[in-house]
Amino acid sequence: MNTTLRDGIDWVGFVDWNVRDFHGYITKRGSTYNAYLIQDKKIALIDTVKGPFSEHLLNNIRDIIGNRKIDYLVCNHSELDHAGSIPAVMSAYPDAVVVCTAKCEKTLAMHFDTSGWKFQAVKTGDSLSLGNRTLTFIETPMVHWPESMFTYMPEEKILFSMDAFGQHYATSNRFDDEVDLDAAMFEAKVYYASIVMLYNTQVRKVLEAAGGLKIEIIATAHGVIWRSHIGKIIEAYKEWSSERFRRKVVVMYDTMWNSTEKMAEAIYEGALIPGVEVSLIHIRKTDLASIAYEIIDAAGVAFGSAILNLDIMPTAHAVLSYLNGLKATGRAGLAFGSYGWSAGAVDEIENYFRKLKWESIREPIRSNFSPTPEILAECRKAGRELAEKAYEIGSS
């Protein structure tokens, strides 16, 4: 495995082939926790790995520097998939100085006993000489946490970007030109939808701040390192954070005895007009990350649920709450669902639409138990109207 970014700069992270659940995000391809070791007159480690894998990290470091010591441990982000092994590193290298933002120092103290650690707080524009090469710092609040930052090495034009531009993608290859690029871009988009979409505004600011940097390598904290397709991933981030929608409709639903499913299928059929892409998703059979991926650039969403215990189904709450948390705002919406004796419960979908700032194209379509041919015709008509709206507000 080639782990060398530049002479004296190596990946020393961990490939987690078997992780499948990342706080609810189903990671079908596993993930990696990327840490980087820089050998100069001083030695710096950038980020660590999840706590259970600290021995792998330490072995990777020892394989490269033997008995030499780490001088600086740069913590770009204190979430535990990257900071979890800091205690193990500080135990092995107690004289290392932890370099991070002031907020990060406070956050680390809430995770660990940091009383014996030496800290150097940095802010945007600060730099740290390692001898022949320099680390400079750019605060990136809310990408992904309030304490986060990028580290940039101007001499080598490397941006250590922590979560940004990452992917949950386990592979034995470390670089974008050594893997299937479509797979890397797909996983980067799934990652953006579930981890980063909430912070679109901050991402746009960070892209602007990073725009003046000459970048030849983006060393992410997850997945492959970008060195041959930097323009592609940066353009993709600009597009995903732009909140411009495509001419796309997502029809999603949960169903009990297939009545809501029949309505969903009729809406789907109606939405199939030229120039509009349409997806049909049974939400109980689909993980949240895949739903977020589908929704990220969809201009229109039809959302349906059967009624269970006088309420929309628990899965429907979960999906709508997840999208609300991600601030997936601004779509055109259509609510629908079947019911037995609680027709009003479908209104709960519209309550979520209001939170999401989705504009309903019409009142909810309701079916008392199995949909009649008339209701299915109404669903097809509404599906067409939603697709026409998506065509109007989306771009190709």
Catalytic positions, please? 23, 77, 79, 81, 144, 163, 191, 222
Closest contact distance (angstroms) between CB of 27 and ligand FEO is 11
Binding of ligand FEO by 168 (CB under 6 A): no
C-beta of residue 76 within 8 angstroms of C-beta of residue 59: no
Closest contact distance (angstroms) between CB of 193 and ligand FEO is 15
User: How far is it between the farthest Cα atoms of the chain?
Assistant: 78
| C-beta of 82 vs 389, nearer to ligand FEO | 82
Both tokens of 188, joined, read: 């980067």
Stretch that binds ligand FEO, among 11-19, 67-75, 78-86, 210-218 (CB under 6 A): 78-86
Strand order in the sheet with 149-153: 127-129, 134-139, 149-153, 158-162, 217-220
Following DSSP, what letter does each residue of 278-291 receive, concatenated? EEEEEGGGS-HHHH
Stretch that binds ligand FEO, among 4-12, 46-54, 79-87, 258-266 (CB under 6 A): 79-87
Give the Å distances, CA to CA, from 186 to 23, 166, 189, 354.
20, 11, 5, 30
Stretch that binds ligand FEO, among 73-81, 200-208, 240-248, 345-353 (CB under 6 A): 73-81
The count of other CB atoms within 10 Å of the CB of residue 158 is 26
Return the amino acid letter for 263: M
Torsion, Cα 255 258 260 266, to 10 degrees, reads: 130
CB-based burial label for 211 (10 Å; 0-12, 13-18, 19+): exposed
Q: Which of 71, 81, 254, 385 binds ligand FEO (CB under 6 A)?
A: 81
Q: Which of 42, 56, 133, 144 binds ligand FEO (CB under 6 A)?
A: 144
Q: Which of 40, 139, 163, 385 binds ligand FEO (CB under 6 A)?
A: 163
Coil, strand or helix: which one is 275? coil
| C-beta of 151 vs 305, nearer to ligand FEO | 151
String of contacts with ligand FEO for each residue 18-57, x by CB under 6 A: ----------------------------------------
Q: Which of residues 246-305 bind ligand FEO (CB under 6 A)?
A: none
Binding of ligand FEO by 79 (CB under 6 A): yes
Q: Which of 89, 190, 221, 328 binds ligand FEO (CB under 6 A)?
A: 221
| C-beta of 10 vs 147, nearer to ligand FEO | 147
Q: Which residue is nearest to ligand FEO (CB)?
A: 79
> What gap in Å lies between CA 82 and CA 297, rounded to an integer?
29
Task: Show Cβ contacts of residue 21 under 8 Å, excluding neighbours closer than 6 positions.
Answer: 27
The count of other CB atoms within 10 Å of the CB of residue 73 is 26
Closest contact distance (angstroms) between CB of 145 and ligand FEO is 6
Element spanning 322, H or E: helix 314-325
Q: Which of 29, 56, 77, 248 binds ligand FEO (CB under 6 A)?
A: 77
Stretch that binds ligand FEO, among 74-82, 181-189, 285-293, 310-318 (CB under 6 A): 74-82
Interacting residues toward ligand FEO by CB under 6 A: 77, 79, 81-82, 144, 163, 221-222
